[in-house]
Amino acid sequence: MNISDKDRSNSISKNHQRLRILSPSEIENLLEVAEDTRYPIRNRGIVLLATDAGLTPYEMSYLCRYHLYGDDGLLGDSIDLRGKTSKYLRPRRIPMPRKGRLWSAMHDLLENVPAVPGDPLIISERAVRGGKATKTPGRTDLTSMRPTSISYVFWKMMDKAGISHASALSARNTFIHSAGVKAIEERVSLRNVQALSGHGDLKSIVRVLEVSEESQEKIMKDLFEPR
């Protein structure tokens, strides 16, 4: 069976999106665009949950407020997904440095919408008006944002920011890539990045990391150059 030029082009485009890594300036552009949207606090949180925590749209949709709470019932220092069951991603705990941009965004999210611990963190537009909840907290009508809607918000913001060939998956890959590069620099096992991202296969992490002759030369020098 022959593959048409259109099918081949679509396949290349999809593969490019899978491996697309956002630059720091592109992330800043995304955050600036989020500030100009109808729901800036929510959308800033969505961006950072992907770029700074490596969450997928499905996981964002799954998140409840209590996944961010510490033992004292207040915003803690991690996102706890250890009780999550998933066909593709493993349960895990993702640290959040206090006062960092991710932690601050989560703080703003929790403060922005009055709700109870079991309510969704990322709520549907149908449950908000002007950034505030209008439904009774704890009721089923305070619904989570659907994964497809989260992906669409990413697409809209990336388009407005002028970021091409990118998606919500690109934002997650950015987290994996940044964590992987840091792990290599600190000579820490990539298994830690695998655990943070929830991947069951280390090869999935390696595929995201860039391969360069400079890095390979440095590795060989560090390993075998006479001291």
Mention the CATH class of domain 19-227: mainly alpha
Sorted by where each begins, the domain ranges of the chain are 19-227
Q: CA 166 to CA 111: how far, in whole Å? A: 30
pLDDT of residue 207: 85
Q: CA 155 to CA 151: how far, in whole Å? A: 6
Cα–Cα nearest to 90, from 202, 175, 181: 202
pLDDT of residue 106: 97
pLDDT in tens, 160-179: 999 999 999 999 999 999 99
Write out the two tokens for 158.
């990336």
pLDDT of residue 53: 96
pLDDT in tens, 94-103: 999 999 999 9
Q: How confident is the model at residue 13 (pLDDT cuts 50, 70, 90)?
A: very low
Taking all residues of the chain, what is their mean pLDDT, rounded to a whole number? 82
Rounded mean pLDDT of 181-194? 91
pLDDT in tens, 99-131: 999 999 999 999 987 788 988 999 887 655 444
Cα separations in angstroms, 226 against 156, 186, 205, 211, 222? 53, 21, 31, 25, 9
